[in-house]
Each structure stands twice: as structure tokens, then as C-alpha cells.
Amino acid sequence: ATMSLYSRSALSAAAMDHKGKKHDPVKAILAGGLTGAIEISITFPTEYVKTQLHLQHEDALHHPGTKKFQGPWCVVRHTMEDHGVRGLYRGIAPLLYFSIPKVASRFWAYETIRNAITDENGKMTPMRSLIAGLGAGTVEAIVAVSPMETVKVKFIQDQTSSSPKYRNFFHGIGVIVHDSGLRGLYQGVLATVIKQASNQAIRFSVYNPLKEWVQDGDPAKDIGILKTMLIGAVAGAASVFGNTPIDVIKSRMQSLDAHKKYRSSLHCAQLAWREGGGTITGGLKIFYKGTTPRLSRVCADVALTMALYEKIIQGLELLWPSKAH
């Protein structure tokens, strides 16, 4: 779940624009946070649908009274019938509350690593992009994404149970900490770290070479918003197909009954494999649940985040001009 490659690329690229004016890091973080909040408000229903499909086996085992979804549109239809449009936004609160610390930690980590490993010409090789992306993903997963995703998954699953127990975001946090301690907010932390690190690594290592190719090796060449969005969509799709199995394990590890069922992320993966009958075909079906809504979310995320970030930065520049260096 989460801000796209474009926010990360824009944040890192925003350090200096074509006029040579440096952007204040605080301004970049603020723009990224606002962008993330607006983007997730628009695209969250696809995140909700994806998570419900990831958790379907969990609900069938532990909440027999819950509905069995046949696919993405089935989730939408049943949710609308039972809860209206608001039901598709159940679990959005943690993503909104954590958006700024998530972006701040990612921005700090990526820029710190990039500054340490970039060459004398300020260029990043694919391997250096991979390393910076891995580092940024690991930091954001530990600082913000793990607790954010844990609460989001629990909120979404809680809505489909016969007796929901979370009244709102803060009440839900209180119940989770009371029942499981602070550890309860970090269920599936290993799967989350692997997911976020691989997410950023795949996206950066695909995005940067593609952009350089389209620019014909000239970093100053403006390729336009449409080409930039298309490159980001390709990079985003690569990450979806590359680590959706990890995302499925993460969702299950953060479910309401995970502490009763799974000893570790590896144990969760083993049970999911058995659920698919122990065959490659069955395993792919289980480990790639929710791919369609997740892919839709990434594509929409890419388009919205890039457009919104640029506009917000422009607005902040008018209100709070950066100094030229």
C-alpha cells in the first residue's frame, strides 16, 4: 500500500530544478505528504479491494459468517450493499495519518544514501539506484509503513467480521496495543520490509535506465509529463508483478488472527503454498491474489502523484520562494 515511484523520483529530483534553484527539503516533504494524502483519498478503494482478496482465506477460516468474494467487482458490490461508498474507505485513516512521516523517512533515507554513493558527475548507475531504493524502502518500512499497514489491514478485515470492534482510528490503535502491546503494530514487519525494499529497488532500477534512454543520455532533456508518466507506469507494473507474493504474505501476517495461526512470515508462506495444493499453478493463484486492483492502483497512483506533486511544488514556490545558489 503506499506513494508511488513518482513521489520518490520527484522528491529526489526536486533537490534542484532546471533553473538551478534548490528546493527546501521541508517543502519537498510537505508537497509529498499532501500529494500522498490526495492520491490515497482517490485511489484507496482499489487498495481496499486488493486487501479483501488477500485476506479471503483468512476470513473463510476464522469468520465463517463473512461473504466469499469471487473477484474485485464482487468485493465492490457487496461492500456497497452493506456499507455504502464509505465502506470502500474503511482503513484509510492510517494511510492518511502516516503519509507525511512515511514520505519524510523515505526522502531522508534516499537522499542520504544517494549523496553517499553518487559518482563525481552526480549520476546514479542502475546498481546504485537499486541500493538507494533498497535503503529507502527499508527505512520507511520500519519507521512508518509497518504500523500503517498493520492497522489498515486490521481495519479492513474488522469491517467484514460479524461483530466489528474498532470504532475509529485511535480506538483501533488503543485496542491493538492493549491486546498485543506495541508488537501488535509491527505484525509482519519482516514481510513489510522485504516488500517495501523490493518495491523501491525494482522501481528505481527500472525507472532510471528507462528515463535515461528516453532522454538520449542527456539528463537535462525535458521528456514531458506523458512520457514520464508512461515510464513510471512501466516501473510500477514491474514492481507489482515482482513482489505481489510478498504483499499477499504481508497482508495475511497483519490479519486479525495472524498471531494465532502463523509462527513467522515463512510459516505463512508455507501454508499459503499448501492452500494452493502445492502446485505451481495453484501457488500462483494464491500468491497473485489482488493483482488486478493493485495494478490499477499503481497506474492511477503514478499519474496522480506526478501531476499533483508538480502543481503543489509550483504553488509552494509562489508562496515560499526558494533561494538560488
Q: Could you read off the pLDDT of 212-229 as tens digits, one per residue?
A: 899 887 877 878 778 877
Q: What is the mean pLDDT of residues 260-285?
A: 90
Amino acid 269: pLDDT? 92
| Predicted TM-score of the model (pTM) | 0.66
Q: What is the pLDDT of residue 271?
A: 92
Query: What pLDDT does 251 receive?
Result: 85
CA distance 50 to 300: 14
| Residue bearing the bigger pLDDT, 113 or 6 | 113
For a pLDDT cut of 90, what percent of the chain falls above it? 8
Report the pLDDT value the prediction gives residue 178, as an integer from 0 to 100: 92
Query: In this predicted structure, what is the pLDDT of residue 7?
Result: 46
Q: What is the mean pLDDT of residues 124-136?
A: 84
Among 173-182, 200-209, 250-259, 295-304, which is the least confidently predicted range?
295-304
Band the pLDDT of 245: cuts 50, 70, 90.
very high
Burial class of residue 268 in the structure, from the number of CB atoms within 10 Å of its CB (0-12 exposed, 13-18 middle, 19+ buried): buried
Predicted confidence at residue 1, as pLDDT, reads 44
Average pLDDT over residues 185-206: 85
pLDDT of residue 241: 92
For residue 102, what are the contacts with CB-CB under 8 A and spacing of at least 6? Answer: 2, 3, 36, 140, 143, 144, 145, 148
79-83, 94-98, 156-160 — which one is most confidently predicted on average?
Answer: 79-83
Q: 206-225 burial, b if ≥16 CB within 10 A, otherwise e?
A: bbbebbbeeeeeeeeeeeee
Type of residue at 235: A
| Widest CA span in the chain | 63
Contact assessment for residue 52 and residue 29, using Cβ atoms and an 8 Å cutoff:
no
Give the separation between CA 128 and CA 172, rounded to whole angstroms. 40
> pLDDT value at position 212?
86
Range list of H helices, the chain: 5-13, 25-54, 56-62, 72-83, 92-117, 126-140, 146-160, 169-180, 189-214, 224-253, 258-261, 265-275, 280-287, 291-319
Name which residue leads in pLDDT, 111 or 268: 268
Predicted pLDDT at 18: 40
pLDDT for residue 42? 85
Cell readout for 234 is 512501466
Considering only residues 291 and 257, tell me which one the structure prediction assigns the higher pLDDT: 291
Answer whether residue 117 shows pLDDT above 90.
no
Q: What is the mean pLDDT of the chain?
A: 79
Cα–Cα nearest to 31, from 232, 297, 314:
314
Q: How confident is the model at residue 22 (pLDDT cuts 50, 70, 90)?
A: very low
Which residue in 218, 206, 196 sits closest to 9, CA to CA?
A: 206
Q: Take residue 205 and report the three cell numbers written for it.
A: 532500477
103-107, 175-179, 284-288: range with lowest mean pLDDT: 103-107
Query: In this predicted model, which residue has the larger pLDDT, 109 or 119?
Result: 109
